[in-house]
Structure 1
């Protein structure tokens, strides 16, 4: 049963990928794409692609930290491949814990990891993600105080600062727990031991996640027209808060919700039509392009695996004929 499920899993994931890809491409209007491409210099599009590549490289470090915490040592080429494909699928299909977890289970199980190990990797990655988001969004709300880039949220300065300090308080509480709580929780029924990261690992989570958020925001920032008047730190702050609201909506990639907050914050400094085109190009660069690469990578991996199995089967049949 386990082998049958592992064989079917990539087929399900690839089918979902093609359905989502077809839907997203159908939703893109040619006029918006053309307008966005025409309004952005080519060198800025290239720079956005480079930022996206480094961002996905930073995302692979989530799995590196998670496996280090679990005491599992795997070559980076295997971890990087798995993490990239998992995040590309999770970003586009939604329900990233299931879709990204499905990719990770398919690929990591061949390296000796169990379903519980993969679930722990997903949980650790979620912690890393929220550590950075709490830091970036908390600082943004405290410094910006609901004004400037945060004005689209319609928060009074007091409410914005209060929310920001609350987020930073949660982050501080997590760091304190990691520093002081070294007890391991044993789940006998699952033969599982769970422990919080050490303070050093928690600080590594903070650095990696903040790097991730900063690079992701820079993908959009470099695509904006020159003279917009929003600095990189303000862009990171706006991006984090818009993503936070988008995550709360449970829409894959925050589609629509994220865009509306960015539109409200940057218009009328940037014409709405131009900004819509820019957001379309951003989605192509940050979501669709990595997703297409990940689909090809997963498909190539599965084909190579099946070729290996077929070669092994032929070798066995050949040996049996010789013995007969």
Structure 2
């Protein structure tokens, strides 16, 4: 029994007439009769019985038809999905840092969809910290990721820089440093700090800043998310180096420019080095890397 035979069977069940079914299938009537007989021999039951000049399904034929139609529907759906993917349509599993969700990612999605109006493209969006996003990328749960650089994944993942974001020091509005507009990190060492956890891609960046000034700040909290860090600073639990993100304008904090040491945060487009990339994902990769996305400040 093969796929053609299953389609012959469902067509004959629809027409209940060998001649009309054969015409629909564009085969000869003897070929159709032979195929149905072969199926019945293999199954060991009769699928059709004569009723005048027509044929009708037997009880076993009705049972078999329900299962065959479901199976063919699943198969046809899978074929359609693959054909759409091959033509540049389909669903993209996109992972990104939450801080990129207010400006950068919506901008990418809108621009990409506008350039591909004729295609059926869907996005499935996932947020998280860099380590978790890259882990999901390696485990094939994500197609492509926008994140920080993480050297632990450099053997498997390609990191392409696509945008930068300024780092600032945030303090509570009543903090002594709030009287200033800029700060040297050396002058922050006497105050308690809130740091990113070691699994965060930004932790390596912030550690690097303090290594440059040979300073060891007192860390009172370690947090994964930059927005949670900002919330703790807003409650005056400490000060923190974070990305200069839009939400800071609406919180009870003040952002100070870091004059020394000099540094900026890079965002990267991350994808697997040696893995097949569906056309729709490859198109998005090309769009992002060639799109000239603005810096986030």
Both structures adopt the same fold (TM-score exceeding 0.5) = no
TM-score, normalization by structure 1? 0.21
Q: Which has the higher contact order (CA 8 A, sep 6+)?
A: 1
Q: TM-score, normalised by structure 2?
A: 0.22
| Bigger CA radius of gyration | 2
More helix by share: 1
